[in-house]
Copies of this chain bind each other. A is one copy, B any other.
Amino acid sequence: MSIETNCQKDSGFSAMQMGKQSLLFYNPVYIMASAAVVGDKEGQGPLGEFFDLVAEDNMLGAETWEEAESNFQKNALRIAMRKAGLVEQQIRYLFCGDLLGQSMASTFGTGTLGIPMLGLYGACSTCGEALGVGSMVISAGYANYVACVTSSHFASAEKEFRYPLDYGNQRPLSACWTVCGSGAYILSSDKTEHARARITGITTGRVVDYEIKDSMNMGACMAPAAADTIKTHFEDFHRSADDYDKIITGDLGAIGREALIHLLEDDGFSISDKHTDCGIEIYGWEEDETKASSCGLDSHSGGSGCGCAASVLSAMILHKIEKGEWNKVLFVPTGALLSKTSFNEGRSIPGVAHAVVIERM
């Protein structure tokens, strides 16, 4: 590997700046423990048995949907901390985020646990943003343990972005279904016996706007950003799809997946036989093969939301890495930077995607 760099190991730095947007970590970053808490529909999907907790009423004792989402976060982090053998006081930074206005699920969720909090917003890419910044902090020696937690909830998201659920409005086939779920990750600089995987590099995404305005086709809004980040990752690291066992986007769904593959083919990168998407995996492909662009459980194009990539990483990706089925995965959570106000003002829906290189221990 021969790569130009403007940062030297000898000067005591903790990572090599790769190309325009990437970092290769010198000091190892371990995913020490993780947990995924999901709702009823997600529990019925193909990954059902791998989640740590399935809340059959989607509420976990809460009185409002927003409070329910907060409870998903709190439970996910508590389970992850228990697996890591840690308590709140040992976690130096909490990186958290969600889709709601002013990140309220995080404020009243993991924010209440008293851990120094750095709130993040990257829409459904926030899991990638949190793992990226969390890895930077661990690799630099700023903390021994950090927690990264993100969440989404179908009902709170529909209320925030679209129509009251009671309207029973029709959803076009291009729409995704916001996942009820939260994923929590404890990152550490120590190689512990049960560490699930290690993070060896990141590529931080930029905002990409193809001027798409259809909030019922989020896959199309996000695919250009996913393509930009994956292409930049390949260029920055001098890698291709051949270097990975799997390239896994966050929540493009079946329709966004097609757009991504075509966009990268236009740039000379072929990823189709290595690619899958958390939004597809969480509900599975539609059994009726004539519906080529549909996912299971009536989810239409697939799952979405900050909780989608976050719960699938713990329940599927890390599981397969631990079993040795995959050795090296490029995990690319994707976000659609939609707000109700900007949408109503006729603005487009730009996308952003952050890539994380996850490798077997």
Chain A residues with CB under 8 Å of chain B are: 6-7, 11-15, 17, 20-21, 23, 26-27, 64, 66-67, 92-93, 97, 99-104, 107-108, 111-112, 114-123, 129, 132-133, 136-137, 139-144, 159-160, 204-207, 209, 337-342, 345, 347, 350, 352
Contact = CB atoms under 8 A, between A and B. Distances in A.
How many copies of this chain does one complex carry?
Answer: 2
A119 B120 contact: yes
A207 B111 contact: yes
A91 to B, nearest CB: 11
Contacts of A14: 12-14, 140-142
B101 A339 contact: yes
A207 B107 contact: yes
Which of A14, A102, A338 has the most B CB atoms < 10 Å from its CB? A102
A120 B117 contact: no
Given A17-B92, A341-B66, A341-B101, A204 B140 contact: no
13 contacts: A7-B141, A12-B14, A13-B142, A101-B339, A101-B341, A102-B121, A103-B337, A104-B341, A107-B337, A111-B337, A117-B122, A136-B137, A140-B140
Contact of A119 (B114, B115, B122, B339): B122
A207 B117 contact: yes
Given A12-B141, A107-B339, 7 more contacts: A17-B142, A100-B341, A108-B350, A111-B207, A115-B206, A116-B205, A119-B129
